[in-house]
Amino acid sequence: MNLEFFKYQGTGNDFVLIDNRNQLFNKNDNKHINKLCDRKFGIGADGLILLEKSNKYDFKMIYYNADGNESSMCGNGGRCIVAFANKLNIIKNKTTFEAIDGLHYAEITDSKISLQMTNVDSVSEVGNDLFLNTGSPHHVTFTENVNKINIKEKGSAIRYGKIYKDKGGANINFVEQINNNTFKVRTYERGVEDETLSCGTGVTAVAIAAFELKKTNSNNISLQTEGGLLEVSFNTNNDRYNAIFLKGPATFVFKGKI
């Protein structure tokens, strides 16, 4: 059986997208999903995303990490599936869709997609670092000269360390402040088990963590990733964050059959 797929990337965070409205794709074959994401033996991607029908909304997003396991929310993947839905003529320039962490609203403006993320009701201190959930769990550590850090080595040490050992792990973000409202971010992603060029839920976590630690007084923050520039805006009220939007490009790369 030939499987048609579409490849998208959002600031270098790349995904295999499949139109599964006909329910022909075997969602329980984790090894097959892992192989499709493999950069040597498959298509190659940080994750695989299925677009499915929704009873009440425009569509449903189901996200798998590159290891083949269904995972929590992916911000860049969310922006890519919005671009994909537009390509399939399911939506025009606005949408509300279902994901594992609830409903998401998004808008397409020119070449950028603005995706509303889940609200953040709590931010926890972990030593000198912070932990928060932006649809996926994130550990945020601020540092100097983020370019010199071995992300895979240090990220995996925290991800598999005693803090998160019994909690399913976390994504680990290393952050360097550039100016008042600009931060450089490098992220170790669980499920990929390596650094990715960009992480949407990660930069969202970083923006809120920076505000929480008073490293910035801005609620519209620029995040430099290895794959490009993203923006995060939010409102805050009584230590809670809402109206959180992740904004950036989502680009169609190619389509094929495998």
Active site residue 37: no
Cα end-to-end distance, the chain, whole Å: 8
Q: Where are the beta strands (DSSP E) in the chain?
A: 4-10, 13-19, 47-52, 60-65, 94-99, 102-109, 112-116, 124-126, 129-133, 137-142, 171-179, 182-189, 194-196, 220-225, 228-237, 240-249, 251-257
Residue 115 near residue 75, CB atoms below 8 Å: yes
Written as six digits, the tokens of 168 are 């399913």
Q: Which of 16, 37, 49, 74 is catalytic?
A: 74
Active site residue 74: yes
Give the Cα separation of 243 and 257 in Å (integer).
39
Q: Which of 82, 199, 203, 221 is catalytic?
A: 199
Written as six digits, the tokens of 107 are 């808008």
Determine how β-strand 102-109 pairs with β-strand 60-65. Answer: unpaired
Catalytically active residues are: 74, 199
